[in-house]
Structure 1
Amino acid sequence: MKVLWRRIRMTIIDRVKQEKIIAIVRGIEPNRIIDTCEALYAGGISMIEITFDQSSPTGNKDTYHAIKKVADTLGKEVCVGAGTVMTIEQVSLAIEAGATYIISPNFDKAVVAKTLEGGAVSMPGVMTPSEIVDAYQAGAGAVKIFPIDRLGTGYLKAVKSPISHIPIIAVGGIDLDNASDYIKAGAIGLGIGSSLVDKQLIQAGKYDALTQRAKAFVHKVQM
């Protein structure tokens, strides 16, 4: 079982290293989510993070159905994960729906353990060197430094120096102007939200424009 889990972790982490972008899909209507993911995929982005809404009384159910819909419809094309996962219940729902990786804004040992138990890859949110090491030793496949825009590329470079063996994903405030800077600073990948997954484009049905935006980000990080 441990060997299988390590293979799954390596596959997901290697995919992040190769593609370098995880699109954060937050608050997209159910009737638009497939078109949104298809547009991102057409632009070269296949890693899709669908987030839980902690403030909504139906957030768990809604996110479960969104993940399941994308996994069932586009599972051969995209790699679906769950974001803003903060409870073990949400871990279970996400994995049952088809998520293969679990991303959190914080580091919770119970959430990481439940993720590993379910055969998925954990990517908890951290900030300090101690949190980074603790999360990785707890079984995280990669750690998410959030919010990276409050810390900057200088912090990322500095923290990577003594712990270069730990894969880091940079999240928060990333746009076309700074995306490549974070990759050069040592991030294996980036979690990108509203600057990529533009709700105005989606609500207007401008999926071709969304595809072009995805292509622009891919070009930036692969330079």
Structure 2
Amino acid sequence: YNDEQKKVTKYAKDSEPLHIKKADLIEIPTVFNLSMYTHRVELFVILLDSRLEFFERNIRFYHTDLQPNIGLFWYFFTEMFEHFRTLFLYTFQMNATVLYLFPLTIKLHKKPLLLATILTALITIFRSYPCIGDVALYMALFPLWKSSAKFMANNFIVFCFLLITSALGPMVWYLWIYCNSANANFYFGTTLAFASAQIFLVTDLLFASNKREFCLREGLSVITKIALE
């Protein structure tokens, strides 16, 4: 027995010690840690689903509701063939957002408030589901440009268009939906005229701002400018 013990002791002294690096160790998570990670993942998925549902209900990039409104989308997508739907969907959305963004930003980079007013108006006109509150939002910003009002040339025409279409819209809606004595073309014609009046208003404001800037830069008075026209 003593001989065997001496051999084991000698072998232990002669052999090299085993070095184990910390990186080689694999930490095995406990059941508590696994459950905690699982709850975090579930919470993240729930928040993501709710966020996507919020965007789907409010932004509505995909035009699914064809209920008539004061916009222009509903009529086009009602009359459109299904295989052209995606093409015109992206075209309309680009027209409402990206198409005017870059050129107007380059032109009005020194006038951020005017740029914000015009972009808000254009997005309201060409968005999928506009309402009267959206129109009132950007029109509330127009008094900021009172100094450019004297350079606007279509005030009377735009005012008449907005007044007539605002009164005619509810009447045509009532005749179409409740009395069945009109059709969608009458109501769409009214909304198209309403949108055209807003476009005239926005472009008139933009040109009026440019005319005022030109007169201030060249030193021309308003009376001289009107006489030249």
More strand by share: 1
Report if TM-score (shorter chain) is over 0.5.
no
Higher relative CO (Cα under 8 Å, sequence separation at least 6) belongs to: 1
TM bracket, shorter-chain basis: under 0.3
TM (normalized to structure 2)? 0.25
TM (normalized to structure 1)? 0.25
More helix by share: 2
Which protein has the larger Cα radius of gyration, Structure 1 or Structure 2?
Answer: 2
